[in-house]
Chains A and B, each alone.
Chain A
Amino acid sequence: MSIDYSTGPILKVEGLKQYFTTRGKYVVKAVDNVNFEVYRGETYGLVGESGSGKSTIGRSVIRLYEPTAGKITFKGMDISGKMDRQTTDVLRTKMQMIFQDPMASLNPKKKIGDIIGEGLDIHHMYSSKEDRKAKIDAILKKVGLAPEHYERYPHQFSGGQRQRVGIARVLIMNPELIIADECISALDVSIQAQVVNLMKDIQEETGTAYLFIAHDLSMVKYISDRIGVLHLGHLLETGTTDEIFDNPIHPYTRSLLSAIPSPNPELERNRTSLTYDYRESGVDYNKGTEHLISGTHYVLGTDAEIEKWKKDAGSTVLA
């Protein structure tokens, strides 16, 4: 299945703000005025350093947090404020989340089959015991596990297999949007590739959309159709993967891309990464507005900044 841009976005985030108050005094603006859209069958990658708010966005979208301000629309329904019963049901089934650490996100006291079937139990999504078992077996097979794994416990699996369980538990709900929060960063390189391939296969088969949150840029580039670059809670630049990688405008994006290590020693040895320091750069993210560069490529900045950055980006070619 390919991306469906005609029916409008499956997820639309407008002006999302997520503030946290600590000790009743300080306000941490974890996410500040973020806008983006995810279409059906698409993978939208959110990248940024730790503390940039990428995980917070994922959690606000699936309503683990109460958004401070802004509007989140999922399948045409407003899910940012108080939700009625029907909306809650749709949100809790059609939007699912895969977590980073598969050991921490699976209940060690439960059998794999029951972990996967929990969603079915809660939402009464089977007609008989046999139906439930059949559904779970089918999902186990789909993620590359065997039906005999049903009776086992999480500790009996390797890291890669556990993450397959995490994916199976999500898939059984037939979700239309999956939030994958750093779901491969705890895995070894060779296992990462297996899980990413599995995620791609599933997308092709079911047409689900992914909100892929990660800090590993080469993996994000590989899996995403569009990318959003976050820094200090602001979405600095967003566009298709090619737009971002071929023509990065924002100095932060440019420093991020210059830092990706490449497995090419003759090239790497003589290369130094670009430096970017927010405090010294004189850029105020709060003053910036979204500027359209081309197509779906937007950059956050003031008019003067955008002009300057465009010139800078044109003069130096990034490797």
Chain B
Amino acid sequence: MDVQEFIKRQEAIKPKHDEKILDIRDLDITFKTSAGPIHAIRGVNIDLCRGETVAIVGESGSGKSVSVKAAAGILAGNAIVNSGAIDFTYTDSKTGERVTVDILKKDTKWIRKHINGRRIAMIFQDPMTSLDPTMTIGKQIMEGMIWHFNTPKQEAYEKSLKLLEEVGITEPEKRMKQYPHQLSGGMRQRVVIAIALACDPELLICDEPTTALDVTIQAKILELIKRLQMERGISVIYITHDLGVVAKVADYINVMYAGKIVEKGLADEIFYDPRHPYTWGLLLAMPDLNTNDDRLVTIPGSPPNLLHEVKGDAFAPRNVYALKIDEKLEPPMFRISEDHYAATWLLDPRAPKVEMPEELKNRIQRMMEEADNVN
């Protein structure tokens, strides 16, 4: 089966990609720590349009959380932004015009008032820590509306009931009076989603939203976020290390490694036509339900410590396909298609021709057949 033809299927249904919401350009961030400066983000570019879902995939410490925290204006105090711009475009509620601001240039007070919770909302990993244990569910959902819009209490209450119904919680009146500990994990995450949606945000950031939940509940939460996104036309950024989650929800995928995006493209391009050796490794490291290979293919070693300056390609020491130039020069983003880019010297015309591992090729072929049979 031809991969390119297969990918065209997603191109046909992909969102229009016109009205830009978020544009992160050349973001470069260092953290000051007692051990020395940590160069956590080394030139990240992400853009996101209305109604789209972008996923950022990477291992812990790759900088995926830091990038979106910068976008939401909630970076830790010891972070220093060396360069870059984060343009966020929203509709002004008074004039109805589209306004573009650079989040990095705004102060915390302005961001609190205009961005956090109101136009960019976040869902975190563990619902128990993001909810206040001393406050009723109802009060926590109403809090944002009252703070941002001075919504009258009665109106806020009615809107909260509707939100709870929308996120699939039964007996909303009863739940409004309950406390977080009286709900199950899946319910709590639904409440967190209801809180995030309370002020009708334009951008929803989900930071590992299902990692703390069980598989069955995970699937339900993902389906819920997807449905809400369709109904409300909001944009979503997913941060996750789980490629299975990504396959279900993402239009575009960014693969991050050591503070850089190493491959980006349409979901289908990343899953059926990956080009970066790190993406190959990530895909192969997941056990496949359909084969009984004796061993999992692993990426040797561990990610670099960003306390030390990275020379050349950060992935080179773990890369079995590394070339000599990888030790000296960092690879640029090579263009593969309109949306698909990868930062590896293997794509340079002068590089020796290297194909993805045979195992991965077979697996992709099988996945395509499987998808064909079902659809």
Contacts of B216 in A (CB 8 A): 49, 255-256, 259, 273, 276
Evaluate contact between B215 and A193: CB separation under 8 angstroms. no
Measured in the bound complex, the distance between the Cα atoms of B285 and A219 in whole Å is 10
Q: Which parts of A254-270 form the interface with B (CB within 8 Å)?
A: 255-256, 258-270
Evaluate contact between B271 and A265: CB separation under 8 angstroms. yes
Evaluate contact between B286 and A218: CB separation under 8 angstroms. yes
Closest residue to A190 on the B side, CB-wise? B299
Chain A interface mostly helix, strand, loop or mixed? helix
B308 CB to closest chain A CB, in angstroms? 14
Measured in the bound complex, the distance between the Cα atoms of B288 and A262 in whole Å is 8
Evaluate contact between B215 and A215: CB separation under 8 angstroms. yes
Flag whether A313 is at the interface (Cβ < 8 A).
no
Contacts of B242 in A (CB 8 A): 189, 261
Evaluate contact between B185 and A221: CB separation under 8 angstroms. no
Contacts of B223 in A (CB 8 A): 272-273
Evaluate contact between A266 and B243: CB separation under 8 angstroms. no
Measured in the bound complex, the distance between the Cα atoms of B266 and A269 in whole Å is 13
Evaluate contact between B218 and A222: CB separation under 8 angstroms. no
> Of A196, A197, A266, which one neighbours B268 at CB under 8 angstroms?
A266
Contacts of B299 in A (CB 8 A): 190, 193
Measured in the bound complex, the distance between the Cα atoms of B282 and A192 in whole Å is 11
| Complex interface bits, B96-113 against A, C-beta within 8 A gives 1, otherwise 0 | 000000000000000000
Evaluate contact between B296 and A222: CB separation under 8 angstroms. yes
Q: How many residues of B contact A (CB 8 A)?
A: 50
Measured in the bound complex, the distance between the Cα atoms of B294 and A200 in whole Å is 9
> Of A161, A258, A265, which one neighbours B267 at CB under 8 angstroms?
A265
Evaluate contact between A197 and B296: CB separation under 8 angstroms. yes
Flag whether A147 is at the interface (Cβ < 8 A).
no
Contacts of B172 in A (CB 8 A): none
Contacts of B367 in A (CB 8 A): 262-264, 267
Evaluate contact between B247 and A218: CB separation under 8 angstroms. no
Evaluate contact between B371 and A188: CB separation under 8 angstroms. no
Contacts of B371 in A (CB 8 A): 264, 266-267
B287 CB to closest chain A CB, in angstroms? 4
> Of A161, A190, A196, A256, which one neighbours B215 at CB under 8 angstroms?
A256
Measured in the bound complex, the distance between the Cα atoms of B360 and A90 in whole Å is 45
Known contacts A260-B244, A263-B286; 4 additional CB pairs below 8 A are A190-B285, A193-B299, A196-B287, A275-B220
A-B contact pairs, 26 of them (CB 8 A): A188-B59, A188-B241, A189-B282, A190-B285, A190-B298, A194-B298, A194-B300, A215-B215, A216-B215, A217-B215, A218-B244, A219-B287, A222-B296, A245-B289, A263-B243, A263-B244, A265-B248, A266-B6, A266-B268, A266-B368, A267-B371, A268-B247, A269-B248, A272-B219, A273-B220, A319-B374
Chain B residues proximal to chain A, CB less than 8 Å: 6, 9-10, 59-60, 185, 214-220, 223, 241-248, 250, 267-268, 271, 281-289, 294-300, 302-303, 367-368, 370-371, 374-375
The 6 nearest A-B residue pairs measured at CB? A261-B244, A222-B287, A49-B214, A266-B371, A273-B219, A193-B296
